[in-house]
Amino acid sequence: MKLTVLLLTVVLCSLQVEAEQVKFGALCSGNPGNTKRGCDIRWGCGNYGASRKRKDGSTYKHLGLDIVCKDGATVYAPFDVILRGKAVPYRVNNAINDGVTLSGGGLCFKLFYLHPDKYTGTVKKGQKLGKLLPMQKVYPGITSHIHVQMCNPNVNPTQYF
């Protein structure tokens, strides 16, 4: 019985340390604490699962977490990452239709609305990934942000912040 409790304690402590290792570092210059985007009257809320409405009136779920970031701000690697290629949020091109797929810290995720300096290779924690694109050109009045979405869109990225 004591051995089982000891092993369980060791496993739980290991899981806790692992979870602490995958917390996102600062993503944007000017937002060292990764402040999450709240709600904009016209554009909705930035939390994972927030309801969105299409032009035809149908609804869908926001599959990412929005972190406040000013247009043109520098976007940083949240931890050591491997860049896995281009990722785009829209089917139709516009001024903010760019992003990158990354992996690191045991996670696979996408960052949208930035133009990365490169789409492949590696970047160390805190080094520049690219620049936030001009969100105000596409969504006037929105709180500009970087959109963080896990490669599996059914996974809520909020737990990593």
Domain-by-domain residue ranges, the chain? 24-160
**108: amino acid identity, one letter:** C
Task: Tell me what pLDDT residue 21 has.
Answer: 62
Q: What is the pLDDT of residue 57?
A: 86
Instruction: Please report the pLDDT score of residue 8 as a whole number.
Output: 33
pLDDT score of 54: 82
Distance, in Å, from the CA atom of 91 to the CA atom of 125, rounded to the nearest integer, reads 31
Q: What is the pLDDT of residue 50?
A: 96
**pLDDT for the residue 55:** 80
Summary mean pLDDT of the chain: 89
Residue 129: Cβ within 10 Å count? 22
> What pTM value is reported for the model?
0.84
In the chain, how many H helices and how many E strands? 2, 13
CA 78 to chain centre: 9
CATH architecture of 24-160: Distorted Sandwich (2.70)
Q: What is the DSSP string of 50-119?
A: -EEE-TTS-EEE--SEEEE--TT-EEE-SSSEEEEEE--S-SS--TT--EEEEEETTEEEEEESEEES-S
Q: 76, 29 in Cβ contact below 8 A? A: yes
Residues of the chain with pLDDT under 50: 1-19
Place of tokens 């976007």: 75
Q: What pLDDT, on a 0 to 100 scale, did the predictor assign at position 16? A: 39
